[in-house]
Structure 1
Amino acid sequence: MAERQQHDPQHATDPQLQSPSKDDMISYVMALEAALLPCLPARELQAIDRSPHPSHQIDVERHARDFMEAAKKLQLYFISLQREDQPTKAETLRKEIAAMEEELKVKTELIKKQERLIEGWRA
């Protein structure tokens, strides 16, 4: 599952996920996956080897499928939490506009200062 997520093109190009904490989130999901994997019922996994009954195979497949569905839900939940933490487009634009306005103010003051120097030299 972790390999699929790392190589999934949707995750690679999604700008919402391109943040410093993306690697942290992936590591959390991988750790969770590693922690949950032993929870698969070992007795039923071993039953395949010992039993000729196809129902045992079906039980193991069902448990494995249920486990993978639960892991995927957890993964999507963590990814949605990460997306909630990121600023919206409007917030990002407001910050950029504020930075540009501050830069404009500084440059305007610098221009006025230079104009006064030039006027002083002419006089």
Structure 2
Amino acid sequence: MVTKASQPAPGFNRELTEIIHRFCQALEKAGIHCQQILLYGSQRSGKAREGSDIDLIVVSPDWARYGWRERLELLGITAARILEPIQAQGFTPDEIAQRDISPFWQYILDHEATIVSSAF
């Protein structure tokens, strides 16, 4: 799990909070408990424009039973079900702690992502 202190994201607002909450509720129905949610990309930096997607990292031990493709498929289907432009990636807390992820995602976690929720 990511434990760095974080400042509120510049673009973070009530509407974004509600979208993320609905996304987590939909993931819960699919059997994925959202242990932690991180925001990155244009929504985090405050540079989002109309039509910008919402880039999220969903941390959950429940991802352990899924392969990478299955995770992306479940995340994409869940975003489509709530009709929101979410692009998400899923990792387990152990994958993050052991740095068992690609250098790209490690960089995002270390430098670009902001914790927006520790369990919805």
**Structure with more helix by fraction:** 1
Q: Whose relative contact order is higher, 1 or 2, with alpha carbons under 8 Å and at least 6 apart? A: 2
Q: Determine which structure has more spread, i.e. the larger CA radius of gyration.
A: 1
**Structure with more strand by fraction:** 2
TM over 0.5: no
Scaled by the length of structure 1, what TM-score is found?
0.27
